[in-house]
Amino acid sequence: MQSQTPLKKQILNQLENTELSATLKQKSQVLQLYQRFGFQLVWFKRSKLTPAGQALIQAIKETAVVRAPQLPYHAYDILYQRHTLRTQPDAIIALDILLSDGFLSYAKDVLTGKILPNQNEPDHPVIWRTSATESADRRSNRQTREQLLSILDSKLSPQELETLISQDLTPAHPGYLGLRRALEHYLQLAQTGTWYPLTPGAELKMGDSHPQVSEVKARLSQLGDYDIYKRPVSDSSALMIQQSNQALRDFNAPLNHPANAPTEFSEYFDLTLSTALKHFQRRHNLEANGKLNDATRAQLNVPPQSRIRQIAMNMKRWRYLPANLGQRYIMANMADYRLRVIDHGKTTLDMDIIVGRQSRRTPILVQTLKTLVLNPSWNIPPRIARTTYLPKAIKSPAYLQKQNIEIVQGFGRKRTIIDPFELDWENIDIKKFPYRLEQKPGARNSLGQVKFPLNNDFAIFLHDTSKPHLFNKPVKALSSGCVRLEKPHQLTEELLKYNPGWDKRRISKVHRRKKTMYIGLKRETPVYLMYWTAWVDEQGTLQFRDDIYQRDLLSPNPASISM
């Protein structure tokens, strides 16, 4: 019988005879993992966490916090023991085992898609239901998943283990990493004990003096908006700004003005504060007027714990996306009502969009745009036909003709058009309407002059609109689910620039003919319909938006998490 090393005995004892053993979720697989590692510690070397161990703790922390207060993956115990870690072997072994069990549970959740922010909504599907086609990149991802499932069948080196966690099990997109830095900032802010809500009050503006002005300056310094403290989001020293003795100087006011008093934060509303407030308002989608009003106070009063949950939830949404977004792709953010075309890392087109209203929410989709349709007809979905058009047709059959809508039966050679005046509307049950409605191309067509089809189960696509005035509304969740484009013609030109001969003049000529034309794209383009209420923009600024679809589901009492 092979003798056991002291370390092997200690690991087996911890796995079999301690209270720790009862808490393990993957006990048999943890034992198998240590067998593959020759009963050496997996996450420690010379009593110090390895880079793989540090990467795992980071992944567990940022993933688990969104599920507070029931934190998975032993997050509470791991983070607590990390900060109170003693050098005794038993303590290190116990933490190593917890990390191993947390790692296996985390990997399992990633590989099965459980970690995705899916609330089991019919319009909020998991990733493998968002695409009917499988690109080479996605096939590669699937193969990677199959390889990762064999983790326990081979011994990974420390470097391979770190790569597995940091690149294969965790998104590496710049957007994800930017939110990671923001999350660290808010986790630190939540622990300072210096956050408290601002009291309601009158509107304050530049030139005013008020005790709350100094509070707002301190708050904006904590959040990184106060211009004289230009520190990165992750700089924890900005959190302790209350201890700073640096005096402010308003060069637009006389030296004897209260604004230049040698105090930490004066009560004078100066130009610096107005500028900082505008910056804060812009990144929260408020009117950037530089005034402290009720709407601005409300955003300043969102507690750090709520922002932690919001940021962590939006980090999870990056897991919907493939590792390689493509050289050219379309990225839409429903919560921001914005769509951008990215070509080789640069934004070539930026526009407003209108998305589905609350009752008909636009789903998260990851798809590939292969064709576009000029002068499209509209096959009206049965749900919209039943709720919008048929009730009006019952009152007046002429309504359908005015809207350029035909009642159609059959397809292809068997396609026939039904005269609306010949139907017995009084005895028609619109819930069992046997025909379909089609709106012909033209000025009244709800899809406008161009349609961008996407292959999905929800009949969701991008399109022009016959009601461009709706883009002037501040809230643009107005459609029946599809995405209306502010600049559809510019997008058409952008997508067809790789199709020889399709210039602006030729596109206009087709529009004038009002005949439907399908055009295959020489360069297929990935389309990502995403939902981000928190993200870091191209300038490195953390942005927040209202949760228009209530998909963040923030807990009213989110738990704090120790750093």
By annotation, the residues acting in catalysis are: 463, 482
| Strand partners of residue 380 | 437
Closest-CA residue to 47 (of 85, 7, 102): 85
Closest-CA residue to 30 (of 92, 105, 89, 80): 105
Strands 365-374 and 338-343: unpaired
Burial class (CB in 10 A: 0-12, 13-18, 19+), 293: middle
- Report helix, strand or coil for 251: coil
DSSP codes, 81-101: HHHT--S-HHHHHHHHHHHHH
Residues 255 and 240 sit within 8 Å (Cβ to Cβ): no
CA geometry: angle at 253 spanning 205 and 202, to 5°? Answer: 15
Residues 241 and 221 sit within 8 Å (Cβ to Cβ): yes
In the chain, the amino acid numbered 184 is: E
Residue bearing tokens 């402010």: 248
Separation of alpha carbons 319 and 325, rounded Å: 12
Burial class (CB in 10 A: 0-12, 13-18, 19+), 364: buried
DSSP codes, 384-449: HIIIIIHHHHHH-THHHHHTTEEEEESSGGG-EEEPGGGS-GGG--GGG--SEEEEPSSTT-TTTT
The DSSP code for 168 is I
Q: How many CB atoms lie within 10 A of CB 401?
A: 14
- DSSP 3-state percent helix, strand, coil across the chain (nearest 5): 45, 15, 40
Question: In sequence order, what are the residues at sequence separation of 6 or more whose Cβ sits closer than 8 angstroms to the Cβ of residue 368?
Answer: 131, 133, 135, 455, 524, 525, 526, 527
CA geometry: angle at 266 spanning 260 and 267, to 5°? Answer: 120
Closest-CA residue to 310 (of 529, 554, 68): 554
Residues 155 and 37 sit within 8 Å (Cβ to Cβ): yes
